[in-house]
Chains A and B, each alone.
Chain A
């Protein structure tokens, strides 16, 4: 009985492989390492690599190895691996473009071991600067320590704003989720008295607004919420001192001429309510420092 089932398995295996082989002529099969993490990566890698009757890619999540089968007369390993890298996945021959990698879903952000060269260098440079910083500018650091506990929140806000400037709804969602995390991570006990009062006043609203932006794919809705978020952020930033000036800016046209405001690190206008359509529409109404 056991033998029979074994033979059956062998035959089916043979048949099925013969079947898949029949699709691709002049087939050559190779195994290469392709970087990725999860099931989503697998789907993306295979979709990018596959071409009907020409190339077939099967990627293994465990080993990070892909078996690549292709028609020698029509394509080559290079072309297939290039397509996969352009979809965001580093491999033996090609490194993905940085901006494509950055846009991968969070679960797919694999560790870029092949890029280790430049990464480690950047990290080292940063480390060096950091140590210099702490030695020579201790005094400065004390002066700005006041607002440090809200820094993550403020930076989170700016990153949402930048995504809206680019009219990128997906990035806005992701970054709003990051902002939400930062809001929840604030340790109130470490805030100054003024900040504490302001924080208590706006915290709930901030949380709600961030949640709403993170939960909507519709950029128009995101922007409506962003107008509210900006108002609350303004209340907060007003009370806490900044080491660099923050600009409170105004777009007169938004919401059928009712207008809306936002905060920015730059004095130049880059309108988050319209993005490229009206990039430089607006003016600075207050400078906070």
Chain B
């Protein structure tokens, strides 16, 4: 008996050591490069000379040893997305390690204790946008108990999706914060008044602005090219050296390495079978299409129906402006039809209905969750019909139809949602451990591009302490107008989706506006784990939290406090904007530096003679509240002039101001009124009061913007601007001080 025990222990030991022995070693050289993906030569970052970064392949039980050589002029890092590892190997600069300095080498080393499709990317700044993403595949061992014949032994192809913009990502980020609508113009998604009237949606547009919303798209950034494994179109004629033929099945290991794009995935050769999600097996489910959120992974099995035909696998951005193709099979190419253009004004109408006057969202009692109800279906012609076949249904009580946003009930097309995912295994957590309940409300402000949780950005919050061994149950409600793919480092969580003990495991959960979802996981690995929105520009705007599990001493970060300060600072960087109109009657312009809350701005009106006058106003203020409609400020005005063409020297309140040279301090506030009109009230140290109303950038037509200003000093201004490109416009305006002017308006 004893002998038997000893032998079995010995055997166990043997097999374990057998698995643990193998070290898989990779050397990665990170270097600047030039690429020409969309007509122009631009800077990108290549690893070992390639974009995407090389696919790293391991088997469960291996040890990964990855040496990173930073040959950039800036620091870098690599994060292993969805991989279980000791916290110090997680690759988040200032949270789990110091940034890898230019010229330095860093070694990541960790045991591979899971299997599945994952990926890796830079966690430094916006490097992920310009090439630093790659597939990270951990194979299941053939003797694994969970090995699924017919699925886990299929030929596989790693696929990583990404987008490319010819704009520098720092500039994209800056333009987002300044509500520059050039991306909307490029996508024909300005949603201007002229377009609204043409489509019979004038009232919709009016209501939208009344509720203080800017035209909204399903995505914020315009990209020039979509890439699958670094190419816009790829032919896959053979896998592992054998040519594909009719009846063959291929398993695609798909990761969305895009910085901010969701992709619709569709296949010309029939239904697709989803077999895994975020690296975790799921019960196979057949669908016509699915949307892959930023940073998610899906394993999909497709088959080749006919000999001599290559079937298109098409990834289309959620805004449907761009796509990339992957042709699977050997022969003539069978295309799939592109997704039709979105019905933007239907979306706007839907948003109007959901938005309360105070900026909160109202789900009208629908209890939305798990992507089952997609409000965006109102914009999808393939499900809700064409724009042209619009009809009057105003007398109908849509609220009675429980399925009006349920894509699968409305159309013949089966779209995957999270409620359809089911783990093949029991994933329940131990019952005898304490549970910590947390609630988060995802919050945001589209106009100023501030994204937060519970209306706090990372720089306004401390780490969230968690005891090691606790179960964390997190309920998340999305009260913002955009969807957010929330990603947890270091763990897989269970998604409570009605599948009971077979709830699926994920590490990214996409949460649509108004949805409430619950996730839970056992916090059994010590360290500081990042929890954040994986849309790169949301993350960099502060939509992050840190779970500090246990008392972890990270050898790479001896001064944790200082490191956390650095992390907070990086997620709330100031952004700069300026514009000036070089007009026939003078210069009109402004410059601003802002972060999530603070704003330092100065405006000027400089005439060409002292009769027209010179005037500069500077304000320093802080935005208050979730919607940031209110900004109290302190200011300083300077003016010099010799009485101009406008003779008003007494203001509406009878206060007199006769000085031609004026220096005045002020305090006041700005408030955004319905219709996006800015109301500004200001009182100067000499008692003079000034109230003003102003509205900028009224979208008259696709490229025409109007604006006006009027104040109690009896000054007024009206303007029209034609947008030529993202930095240039032609502007005409009439100003009570300076008269009529025509000029070239430059903005940055």
Contacts and interface: CB of A to CB of B under 8 A. Distances in A.
Interface of A: 82, 85-86, 92-97, 99-100, 114, 117-118, 121, 166-169, 219-220, 253, 256-257, 274-281
B396 A280 contact: no
B188 to A, nearest CB: 18
Nearest to A88: B337
B268 A97 contact: yes
A94 B337 contact: no
A169 B391 CA distance: 11
30 contacts: A85-B333, A86-B335, A93-B333, A94-B333, A94-B334, A94-B335, A95-B309, A95-B332, A97-B268, A117-B308, A117-B309, A118-B306, A167-B386, A168-B385, A168-B386, A169-B388, A219-B389, A220-B391, A256-B395, A274-B391, A276-B384, A276-B385, A277-B393, A277-B396, A278-B393, A279-B401, A279-B409, A280-B402, A280-B403, A281-B400
Given A86-B337, A92-B332, A94-B332, A278 B396 contact: yes
Nearest to B384: A276
Contacts of A121: 306
B398 interface: yes
Interface of B: 268, 305-309, 332-338, 383-386, 388-389, 391-393, 395-398, 400-404, 409-411
A248 B334 CA distance: 40
Interface of A is mostly: helix
Nearest to B338: A86
B228 to A, nearest CB: 16
A95 B411 CA distance: 25
B268 A281 contact: no
Contacts of A86: 335, 337-338
B349 to A, nearest CB: 12
Contact of B306 (A117, A168, A220, A274): A117
B398 A278 contact: yes
Given A167-B386, A253-B397, A279 B404 contact: yes
A85 B335 contact: yes
Contact of A97 (B336, B396, B403): B336
Contact of A274 (B336, B396, B409): B396
B717 to A, nearest CB: 41
Given A253-B396, A256-B395, A279-B404, A167 B385 contact: yes
Contacts of A220: 391-392
A282 to B, nearest CB: 10
Given A92-B332, A95-B332, A97-B335, A274 B393 contact: yes
Which 8 A-B residue pairs are closest in the complex by CB-CB distance? A167-B385, A97-B337, A276-B384, A167-B389, A95-B334, A117-B306, A277-B393, A94-B333
Nearest to B268: A97
B330 to A, nearest CB: 13
B338 A219 contact: no
Contacts of A281: 396, 400-401
Contacts of A169: 388-389
A281 B404 CA distance: 10
B546 to A, nearest CB: 44
Nearest to B400: A281
A268 B332 CA distance: 40
Given A94-B333, A167-B389, 18 more contacts: A82-B333, A85-B335, A86-B337, A94-B334, A94-B335, A95-B334, A117-B309, A121-B306, A167-B386, A167-B391, A168-B389, A219-B391, A274-B391, A275-B384, A277-B398, A278-B398, A281-B396, A281-B400
